[in-house]
Structure 1
Amino acid sequence: MADKFDEATQKELATFLEQEQAQARVHSSIHQFTSMCWDKCITGTPSTSFSRNEVNCISNCVERFLDTSLFMVKKIEEQRQQLNS
């Protein structure tokens, strides 16, 4: 099917697919850390608000997850640059 498109259209489609896949990975990561942090931090039955401990736990959990994710992305990018050098 891709053979029916010219090179510019094929590149545009490839770029679109890459962007959609990246967006799907972001959504998956958000779902993953939301679920993980909820299970770890919400200890009681949810009511109209969270306890102070739950709020602090969720905040710390999300921050650590993001810190770790950024660290991993940087390491992968460094490795990719070393391979391309």
Structure 2
Amino acid sequence: ELQRMIAVEQQKAQFTAQVHNFMDVCWDKCMDRPGTKLDSRTEGCLVNCVDRFIDTTLSITNRFAQM
């Protein structure tokens, strides 16, 4: 039981780290000027960027699972 709980927590930590990495990359790609709030173009860029990373990660994971 303890090993399963540890494995679940490790997976959560890996997922969180991956999301932070995606956001760092996408932030650098999409943010061209600082401001007090996100405009619609920047928000759309961030959403699309993270979605592409997630889709790519899922595709690669599924491909490896089929091997």
TM-score for both structures, normalised by structure 1: 0.72
Aligned residues: 67
Partner of 2:10: 21
1:9 is matched with none
CA offsets 1:21-80 (integer angstroms, 9 cap, x no match) = 101110110110011111110110121x2122212211210110111011011112112x
Paired letter, 1:68: T
Structure 2 unmatched ranges of 5 or more: none
Q: Which 4+ runs in 1 deviate beyond 6 A?
A: none
Pairing 1:45–2:34 present: yes
Q: Does 1:77 align with 2:60?
A: no
Q: Distance in 2 between matches of 1:53 and 1:17?
A: 40
Give distance in 1, aligned partners of 2:15 and 2:35. 26
AA of the residue aligned to 1:77 = A
Q: Which amino acid aligns with 1:43?
A: D
5+ long unaligned stretches in structure 1: 1-11, 80-85
* TM-score normalised per structure 2: 0.88
What fraction of aligned residue pairs are identical, expressed as a percent?
A: 31
Q: In structure 2, what residue type is equivalent to 1:15?
A: R
